[in-house]
Structure 1
């Protein structure tokens, strides 16, 4: 079972339905017990970084997400959820994040349209179990801020929007996708499917 973490900000229904289309059970929940009992967890997010972190802290789910990550079970942040994995964001002031990946989130700077919105092509930078059997293609982005990972090895894929932009990040069992895989056609669903496969594999290892 995969827990879709409900902290009041995110495309919970669309992510849940996408997981179910992949043939896996998904539960939308704000229960720490249910989240920690799940085989995998997804942290979605739409809105402002500071508001999201305030909601997580007020519900105690910030500690739950960190505790889940510490179990080694697969965790995926989507869009704002990916940004929350990092140390801090400069969105409307400086806000502390979950600190699961070192780095910070900054606003696009330049004489071009912000937010970055639309279909952009991914470039896979290194081997990852998320990419097994997949070929880079286009996925759907909507964001005004982007992550700057501190460690090069945490940056798994980029896209180009007037500069290289972090598109997929990960270390160990913690992953993030800046785009919306559930809205990104065949490749997006394939990437989400690879995450689900990692959840299944990890669950099998624990059971074995």
Structure 2
């Protein structure tokens, strides 16, 4: 019999975002023990935290505020504890979101503004390629794959100061729909994707496994395999 293998414990943040069950199922299929929760002990204690997001930037920020999730996300990032944002969960990591003339403050983890895509057809809905940087851990082995996007807004410029001493610069992955936009960011404990890994078939599952493989597993949960 093989040695017991530990599963990472991942919390999918339950703050009122829709369609989170597909993310839960995909993470379970990728090999995680998954809990849908907003309890502080769960959010702060999990090996990994996933911040989903669909709909409007302002509505997602309102939901995060009501769940006291902004503070908890900040504590995890400050403590080097892995966080993965998905779709609007990526967008709110930036400084601002501008939708229908309304400028909403984001979490400010990265500089930049989420704005309407400059494209003939919006929303950007369907499969698209991405351009990950060399050495990306999220996209290891799936650099040429397509991923599933559903969004009308995105971050179309990257203004991070890459010359700050003693700081490893974030890795930025780009895609294109009418204009270049940020498809993913990897920045120490904080990663995020504009596309939906949970809707991206085998490529999305591989990306989730890549992320799970970066998590420091606490050893609280284990399974037996024959």
Which structure 2 segments of 5+ residues have no match?
Answer: 1-8, 163-168, 219-226
- Pick one of 112, 118, 128 that aligns with 1:109: 118
Query: Per the alignment, in what secondary structure is the counterpart of residue 150 of structure 2?
Result: strand
4+ runs deviating over 6 angstroms: none
Q: CA deviation at 1:155?
A: 4.8
Which structure 1 segments of 5+ residues have no match?
Answer: none
More helix by share: 1
- The equivalent residue for 1:12 is 20
Query: Per the alignment, in what secondary structure is the counterpart of residue 203 of structure 1?
Result: coil
Please give the root-mean-square deviation of Cα atoms over the aligned residues, in Å: 1.7
Q: Which has the larger radius of gyration?
A: 2
- Matched residue pairs, number? 202
C-alpha distance after superposition, 1:119-153 (max 9, x if no partner)? 11111123222123333211110000002332275
C-alpha separation in 2, matches of 1:134 and 1:118 = 18
Query: Per the alignment, in what secondary structure is the counterpart of residue 99 of structure 2?
Result: coil
Q: CA deviation at 1:10?
A: 3.6
C-alpha separation in 1, matches of 2:104 and 2:202 = 35
Alignment of 1:1-208 (within 5 A): 1-92=9-100, 93-110=102-119, 112-147=120-155, 148-151=157-160, 153-199=169-215, 202-203=216-217
Structure 1 contact 149–155 (Cα < 8 Å) conserved: no
C-alpha separation in 2, matches of 1:95 and 1:155 = 25
Q: What is the TM-score normalised by the length of structure 2?
A: 0.84
Structure 1 contact 115–144 (Cα < 8 Å) conserved: yes
Q: CA deviation at 1:48?
A: 0.6
C-alpha separation in 1, matches of 2:159 and 2:13 = 26
C-alpha distance after superposition, 1:59-105 (max 9, x if no partner)? 21111111111121211000010101111111231001111122211
Query: Per the alignment, in what secondary structure is the counterpart of residue 128 of structure 2?
Result: strand
C-alpha separation in 2, matches of 1:173 and 1:49 = 22
Structure 2 contact 53–87 (Cα < 8 Å) conserved: yes
C-alpha separation in 1, matches of 2:18 and 2:47 = 20
